[in-house]
Structure 1
Amino acid sequence: MTFGEPEGYDVDARPRPLGRRNRSQVAAAAACLVLGTGLIGGAVAGSWLTGDADRPGSRGSFAAAGDMWHNVPVDQLFPPTVQGKGAGPGGADRFWTRIAVAPDSGCRDAFDPLLRKALAPVGCERLLRATYTDATQSHVTTVGLLFTTADAAGMTVLADRFDRDRLDRRTDLMPLPYAAEGTAAAGFGARQRAAWAISVLTDAPVVVYAVSGWADGRAVDTPQPAEDAMESGATTAPAQAGLGHEAQGLADRVERGLRKKAGTATERPS
């Protein structure tokens, strides 16, 4: 079964097929199509060249984050005091005080050999570190910000590898602490590491880590990744002391501060 073309009426009320258009109508329609396409294309191109580049997580904020090691004051990267509401075991609040800031440096002697090798693909632009103690001065925690030379793709590859191979849980890939003489962390060395956390960011060229231990300098035979030490029912000494929460809580809050600064670093003044 077939259907004929529907009919309309011209100005003299004579029937004509609706599907037909005269040349002037066709030309006008084509012109509108070209103009509309041009306007849409211009709008898309404009979005590429203007504010969209400054969205958090975009190329603009990624580059801005990479410059933060020399553009942002240390007190904004590592605040003198950090509040950890709900960051302790059972949702208890935590409060940390900064007791030492390491001079910004490279990575040559800052990591054990295997961790340095694992991080090598993203390079090392600068390493910033600070050590905190809890309100009771019973625990010490070093937080580090490794600013890499990698692009977003390189950071994603490393993050995927850490996640796939669980490199953040290997005891031979624990970060080193920063021990400062004359502070509660004076005896915080490699043997004193109790719990740790490592986070490879993909929206900034930064690796965030933290490692915690006791302030009295006691050695630890069975260190645990913070994720394990924070599990309900964990009975190891680091878990019972809440040292997993110390490492993860401080790492999370320093990371949040960095993300917040990176997200606003490229905003234009109003």
Structure 2
Amino acid sequence: MDALARPATLPPHPERESGQGFGGPVEGPSETTRRLRPVREEAEPDNKAPDNKAPRVPDPALSWSAPVSPVSPVSPVVERPVVSFAEPERAARRFGGRGGARVAAVAACLVLGFGLVGGAVTGSWLVGDSQAAGSRDSFVAARSIWHSVPVDQLFPTTVAGQGAGPGGADRTWTRIAVAPDSGCKGAFDPLLRKALAPVGCQRLLRATYTDATQTYVTTVGLLFTKADASAMASLAKRFTEEKLDSRTDLMPRPYGPGFENDMRASWTVSVLTDAPVIVYAVSGWRDGRGVDQPQPAEEAMETGATTAPAQAGLGHEAQGLADRIERALRKQVGPYAKEQAA
């Protein structure tokens, strides 16, 4: 028999002729399983070929390995193993089934998550815009609140100062005088008037209080300016950086019978940035005694301060009352701004 002869059992096929269809070895005639596993290369003649069919010689040029290496005699082979792609198909079905549902669920969660994040961002933008608009409305409303809100709401007849005294002691102040609303002429010393000039003076409201023992007097004032938010912020920055609120030549003047300029012992000045208002207070002894060395409220309230205003608690009187009048003002601005916007 010719060395390249093949049994006529199967038609010629390129995979079968080369024995290197997917790079694997040629399987002998004893291999009958569907698995891809190595077998011995010893060739055994196949004597089961029918006598009525002549053996065929395959064309070596049809072998898949022909371009790479020359054709060499190989042993007869039987049917090549059939490589099935059923497993990938089952994997695809699994992916499209339960796995597909999982993928769909994950995708839905991602979409929902992006939607929530986007909604939150959008909501924050909207809230931010709303808050900014509310701040502008409040700033504008505060400018004219002085002629719309009763004096008793801006300067209550009695003011409770819980924890406002030295050592956290409570204070109570009673109103004893209210100045008619007016301009700022004659209300401030020349240097303080010059420092406040950039924001202008629209209206000035003042009231004077005494403590529960009637030992001290304190004048508190609300200066409504003509400035916008930028000018107020600029003035507040200047007061802070140049410490204008601690200079004795920039003390506010008191108001009321018996409370003279030389009686001023402690004071505070606060330039608001969310309203066109300057809040201030100045305190002294009610018995008419003069003070040679006035002290800013912030310094007089420090622990260990030994000056006469500090020992008497006059820094607490000025700061405590100014804080609560400022709170009363803010309490009125919100509702008034809503009323004006309606």
Which TM-score applies when normalising by structure 1?
0.78
Identify the match of residue 96 of structure 1 among 149, 163, 173: 173
1:171 maps to what in 2?
248
Write the deviation string for residues 133-177 of structure 1: whole angstroms up to 9, x where unpaired. Answer: 000000000000000000000000000000000000000000000
Query: Which letter does structure 2 place at the counterpart of 1:161?
Result: R
Instruction: Choose 1 or 2 for highest CA Rg.
Output: 2
2:139 aligned partner, one-letter code: F
RMSD over equivalenced CA pairs, Å = 2.4
Q: 2:264 aligns to what?
A: 193
2:251 is aligned with 1:136: no
Matched, 1:154 2:231: yes
The residue that corresponds to 1:127 in the other structure is 204
More strand by percentage: 1
Partners in 2 of 1:177 and 1:211 — Cα distance? 6
CA contact (8 A) 1:54 1:266 kept: no
Kindly, what percent of the aligned residue pairs are identical?
Answer: 71
Secondary structure (helix, strand or coil) at the match of 2:204 reads strand
Q: Does 1:118 find its partner at 2:189? A: no
Aligned-pair distance for 1:267? 2.7
What SS does the aligned partner of 1:254 have?
helix
Q: Deviations over 1:60-88 (max 9, x none)?
A: 00011111110111001000000000000
CA distance in 2, matches of 1:54, 1:94: 37
Does residue 263 of the first structure (1) align with residue 334 of the second (2)? Answer: yes
Looking at structure 2, the residues matched to 213 and 141 of structure 1 have their Cα atoms a distance apart, in angstroms, of 7
Which residues of structure 1 form unaligned runs of 5+?
Answer: 1-39, 180-185
Structure 2 counterpart of 1:225, which letter? P
* Partner in structure 1 of residue 284 of structure 2: 213
Counterparts of 1:80 and 1:116 in 2: how far apart (Å)?
29
Task: Mark the CA change 1:53 to 1:265 in structure 2 (over 3 Å): closer, same or farther.
Answer: farther
Determine which structure has greater relative contact order: mean sequence separation of CA pairs < 8 Å that are 6+ residues apart, divided by chain length. Answer: 1
2:149 equivalent to 1:78? no
CA contact (8 A) 1:95 1:134 kept: yes
Contact 1:124–1:149, Cα closer than 8 Å, also in 2: yes
**Which whole-Å CA distance do the structure 2 matches of 1:52 and 1:135 have between them?**
40
Q: Secondary structure at the match of 1:266?
A: helix
Alpha-carbon distance in 1 for matches of 2:333, 2:172: 24
1:53 is displaced (CA, Å) by 5.5
Counterpart in 2 of 1:16?
A: none
Amino acid in the other structure paired with 1:169: S
Query: Paired residue for 1:237, among 308, 319, 336?
Result: 308
**How far 1:104 sits from its partner (Å)?**
0.5
- Output the TM-score relative to the length of structure 2: 0.62
* Count of aligned pairs: 223
Q: Aligned AA for 2:326?
A: E
Letter of the 2:338 counterpart: E
